[in-house]
Chain A
Amino acid sequence: MSFVQNFPFFTIILCLLCAVSTFVAGDKWGRRLSVALLCVSVALNASVLWFCASNDMSYSYMMGHYPAPWGNEIMAGVMEPLMATLFSVVMLCSVLGGMGHIMADVQDHRKVYWINVDMTLVSLLALCYTNDIFTGYVFIEICTIGSCVLLSAKQNGRTLIASARYMIFALIGSGLFLIGVVLTYSVTGHLLFPQLHEAVAAVWADGRYTFSMTAAIGLMTAGIAIKSGLFPFHFWMPDTYGQATPASSGILSGVVSKGYIFLLIKIIYRAVGIEVFTESGIQAVLLVFGIGGMIVGSISAIRTKRLTTMVAYSSAAQIGYIYMGLGMGTDAALLAAILHIFAHSLTKPMLFLAGADLADASGGENEFHALRGAGHRDVMAGVLFTAGSLSMVGIPLFIGFIPKLHFASAAFALDWQQWPVLLGLAISTVLNVGYFLYTSMVLWLPEKEGVGYRGEKRCPCHYVPAVVLLIIAMAIGIYSAPLTRLIEQGLALFVKY
């Protein structure tokens, strides 16, 4: 075994060690540890990605001295470290870009914030690498706790209520997921993905437990859909993303919801099997709710009068795209869904960071009427927000264009789903243009007379993390072939054992 193959285990253990060390070390060292940990996580996961991609291999790794199912097991191919690297990069940029706001918004017990950054990272890495459905549940819950603390860290009454609301929805989702896991275990007697895959196929072919298996798959899917904010369960999103400190909003919107969705993809393709998932009818339900989310999320975004709420509702629409891809059920649609995960993860934290700067430049106001001309008051934030908006709309040269193109291409291979998908794409894109164009126009309208710069002048290095996200997004938008090839290679390994 190559030394690099230990890196997924090392990153998980490092996160736990850093969380414990921060508790002892305090705020200042906790901050340094968290940033260093995120950098190390990027490097280690990128190394695993390079190793697996260059050798075109995936491998399972025994955690501890006992083989599965008594011990625990992780699995790494190309998709797992690719997603882990993406999550680490986005978290790093969100934390660095939102550092000023973290310092201002989190006054008491700031070290708790850093502990939960570490805990959220470990849970996301574990969700990427786990090969066990129950371990998936455990880290879903750890991710929920970490996210809730990141959200409620801002000392503000409304944030507390938003956190409680988020927690309630998240726990409903976890409860449904858990009962789904227990039902699956009851029917198959397995928890590891490879054994589950075989057992589910055998049980489904037997036909005796079709209802139980459908219920189990449906409950797990519903649980993750609620937690990731799929329509009609997206109403916790605006308060959650809109009230938190920008770094937390970026992390929650950019990576946490994608961590859950990646686990669902693993369950669908590795544990349940796409054939069983299609035959169960749940795939069609996901398609309908995905298209619904694309349209309803966009309409909700148009109706709001606050910038952060608009960006949050836009997340509901973008999550709808990903679920629509899962609902389409073809390899091409899955590729498009994963490309959309990349597009949303890289763009949304940039929008939250730039949006917070624009609000600061408008006296802390978030309403559109107060943001008029904010782009002139903070040019860099205005440019970043406009670039992020163009990406979300799907303008060529930006990353958002690539998945939309793939969704549209994938739709032509479908039967009855072809027209709903194409219609949903068209309507949602038009609605996206409506609210993002309106916002960008508001930002660049001439300022009202007598309104000067109301925020403090920032150091240019403040914008570097968001600029890095923009550069990655544009690089993929201009030349997407390497990423597309990598994902295709990963998906081929992902489904194959």
Chain B
Amino acid sequence: MNGMFQNLLHNYEECVSVILFCIGFCMLLFDRNLLKKVLGLDIMDTGVFLLLADRGYIAGRMANIITDGITDASYYINPIPAGLVLTGIVVSVSVSAVMLSLTVRIYREYHTLDMDALYLMMSEKRKGGRV
């Protein structure tokens, strides 16, 4: 038990990233508010990016920006996870933007962001006739 706690403490970045992923995933899946779902998506992605960044981090080394003309690779951290995180952030921002624009359009149309209420309105309209 003590060993497991020591492992968790030693790998605290991974633990935090997994906790963030789970929080975001649960918000995306279970929260009824559409805006909170978008926030959940961002938190989930942040958890993954933290894990990815942690994979590429090497203690005592610098970020992948050439400093003082040093081109020796052993001076810098692993560049691939850093590149992946940057790409992932761009993708995540794009997806969030699309999701937010959809949220705005839904709010303008129905004046609510509660998914349960939206489904209810949708099924009532279906019963009432063609929309």
Contacts and interface: CB of A to CB of B under 8 A. Distances in A.
A25 interface: no
A158 B122 contact: yes
A168 B37 contact: yes
Contacts of A145: 94-95, 98
B28 A138 contact: no
Given A145-B94, A182-B48, A171 B130 contact: no
The binding surface of chain A is classed by DSSP as: helix
Interface string B31-53: 00010010001001100100110
Contacts, number: 94
A164 B103 contact: yes
Interface string A189-226: 00100000000000000000000000000000000000
Main secondary structure of the interface of B (DSSP, over half): helix
**Number of contact residues on B: which range applies?**
35 or more
Nearest to A309: B126
A354 to B, nearest CB: 19
Nearest to B44: A175
A185 interface: yes
A160 B48 contact: no
Contact of A158 (B24, B88, B131): B131
Interface in A117-171: 134, 137-138, 141-142, 144-145, 148-149, 152, 156-158, 160-161, 163-165, 167-168, 171
A366 interface: yes
Contact of A175 (B41, B106, B118): B41
Interface in A169-186: 171-172, 174-175, 178-179, 182, 185-186
B41 A179 contact: no
A420 interface: no
A149 B28 contact: no
A446 interface: no
A365 B129 CA distance: 9
A184 to B, nearest CB: 11
Given A141-B95, A160-B106, A191-B80, A175 B87 contact: no
Interface in B94-128: 94-95, 98-99, 102-103, 105-106, 109-110, 115, 118-119, 122, 125-126
B57 interface: no
A69 interface: yes
A120 to B, nearest CB: 13
B87 A134 contact: yes
30 contacts: A70-B79, A70-B80, A134-B87, A138-B91, A141-B95, A145-B98, A148-B98, A152-B102, A152-B105, A157-B109, A157-B131, A158-B122, A164-B34, A164-B99, A168-B28, A171-B41, A171-B95, A171-B99, A172-B28, A174-B95, A175-B25, A175-B41, A178-B45, A178-B48, A182-B48, A182-B51, A182-B52, A185-B81, A364-B130, A366-B130
Interface of A: 69-70, 134, 137-138, 141-142, 144-145, 148-149, 152, 156-158, 160-161, 163-165, 167-168, 171-172, 174-175, 178-179, 182, 185-186, 191, 239, 364-366
Closest 5 CB pairs of A and B: A141-B91, A157-B109, A175-B44, A158-B131, A160-B106
Given A174-B95, A175-B44, A179-B21, 5 more contacts: A70-B80, A164-B115, A168-B28, A171-B99, A366-B130
